[in-house]
Amino acid sequence: MTETATTTAVCEHCDWRYRLPSTGSLPICPHCLQTELTPVDSDVTGMTAAVELVAPFSVPDADLSRGLQRFSSGFFFRPRDLTAENLHSRKQRLYLPRWLVDCDAEAGWRAEAGFDYQVVSHQDQFDESSKQWQSQQIREQRVRWEPRAGRLARHYENVDAPAMEEDAAVRQRLGDFDHTQAEAVDALSLDGALIRMPNRAAGDAWNDAVPGLRLRAVEECRQACRADHLREFDWTPQFSGQHWTQLLLPVFTTYYADETGVLHAVLIHGQTGNAYGRRQAAFRPARNLSLVLGALAVLALFVSLLMVVLSSVGGSDALLSLGPLGVLAAMVTGILAIVPIAYVWIFNRLQPPDPPI
C-alpha cells in the first residue's frame, strides 16, 4: 500500500512511539500528556512492517456520548473541567497496532472426531387417572467419537498477535476490538490521526500467533472429517514463509484538567465508546464542605453547652433536656464533617494511575 508523508516521533517520558502526519509542529504525547514528541529515525528493526488492514472509527455518536457521560459522572466532587462535552471536543484519533502474519504450515495431526446422533427410546408410565399405561418417546443427543489422523499443508493469512507490550492491558480496560470491521486500504490517509508504533518485535509475537494458527487448523480438520466436534487435537507443525504486516485498531485519546490544573489522559474505544482513565475527585470543595460541617458542629456544641448552663441557672427543664440532644447533634455533625475529605481521599486512591495504560 502507499502512504502519505509521515513523521516518526517518540515521547521521551512514556516511550510511546508514533507515526503522524508530517505537517505542522509535533504535538504533546496524547498518552501521558507530559512532553512534546521528539522526531526520531523511523527505521527500528522488526517494528516497521507495512499496514495491511485498518479498523475504522465506527462508534455511533450515541454510544460515544454515553461512554463519555458515564466516565465523567457517577462520583461526587467532580472537577469542573471533567465534562462529557470537554472530553468530546478534545478527542484525538489514534490507531493501535496488532501484528498480522501469513505463513505456510505443514503438519501431521491426530484427533478424536465427534459425530452427533440421536437415540430414541420409550418410557412407559402408569397413569392413575386413566388407569392405563402411557408411552412417552424420549430423544437423547449423543456423540460418537472416532480416532482420525492425517496431514495438512496449508497457507494461513492474517493470524493476529500483540504488537504492543500493553496490548493485554488495553483489551482488559477498554474491551476487545472487532477485527471483522477491518478493511484493506490502498492508501493510508492519516487525516490528522496518530499511529502508535509496535514496541514488540514480530519475532517475539510469533509464539502468540501459534495458538491462533492451531485454532484454524482444528476447524479445518473438523471440516475435513465432516465431524461435528474435534477433541484431543495433536499436531507437529513446520512453519515457513512468515510474512508480517500490521492491523490498526481505533481509539480516541482525550484529557481533562483536575482542580489543581494537572492534566489526565483518557482513552476511548473507537468501536464501542468505552472510556478509561484516572478520575480525580476535587479536594478543595470537599475540604470546604468539611470545614462548614465542622464549624456547624462546634456551633451546635457551644449552643448546647450554653443551654445546659442556662438550665442549671434558671431551672428550666426544657433547656436541660435540649442540651444533651444538642451535644449529640454536634457529635453527629462532627463525624459527618470527616466524610467529604475521606470520600475524596479514598476515591482518588482507588483510581488507576496515570497514564491510563
Instruction: Give the footprint of Zn ion on this chain (CB under 5 A).
Output: 11, 13-14, 29, 31-32
Quote the least distance from Cβ 170 to Zn ion, whole Å: 15
CA 234 to chain centre: 34
Q: Which of 93, 96, 87 is nearest to 16 (CA)?
A: 96
Q: Which is nearer to Zn ion, 79 or 356 (CB)?
A: 356
Contact 216, 159 (CB under 8 A): yes
Cα maximum dimension of the chain: 106
Residue with Cβ nearer Zn ion (11 or 300): 11
Cα–Cα–Cα angle for 151, 156, 158, rounded to 5 degrees: 160
DSSP secondary structure letter of residue 50:
P
Nearest approach, Cβ of 29 to Zn ion (angstroms)?
Answer: 3
Q: Are 4 and 190 in contact (CB under 8 A)?
A: yes
Nearer to Zn ion, 32 or 282 (CB): 32
Report angle CA 90, 92, 95 to the nearest 5 degrees. Answer: 160
* Cβ nearer to Zn ion, comparing 11 with 330: 11
Pairing assessment for the beta strands 275-277 and 194-196 based on DSSP bridges:
unpaired
* CB of residue 14 to Zn ion, shortest distance in Å: 3
Query: What's 96's DSSP letter?
Result: E
Question: Residue 252 Cβ, how far from Zn ion at the closest point, in Å?
Answer: 16
Rounded distance between C-alpha atoms, residue 298 and residue 302, angstroms: 6
Whole-angstrom distance, CA of residue 250 vs CA of residue 156? 25
Q: Which is nearer to Zn ion, 11 or 182 (CB)?
A: 11
Q: How far is the CB of 189 from Zn ion (least distance, A)?
A: 25
Query: Residue 94 or 161: which CB sits closer to Zn ion?
Result: 94
Query: Whose Cβ is closer to Zn ion: residue 18's or residue 283's?
Result: 18
The smaller minimum CB distance to Zn ion, of residues 29 and 103, is found at 29
Q: What single DSSP character describes residue 95?
A: E
Closest approach of Zn ion to the CB of residue 34, in Å: 6
Least distance (Å) between residue 265 CB and Zn ion: 9
Residue 92 C-beta: closest distance to Zn ion, Å = 13
C-beta of 11 vs 163, nearer to Zn ion: 11
How many Cβ atoms from other residues are within 10 Å of residue 16's Cβ?
22
CB 33, min distance to Zn ion, A = 7
Contacts 24+ apart (CB under 8 A), 79-86: 79/256, 79/257, 79/258, 79/259, 79/280, 79/281, 79/282, 80/259, 80/282, 81/256, 81/257, 81/258, 82/256, 82/258, 82/279, 82/280, 83/256, 86/256
Residue 234, strand partner residues: 110
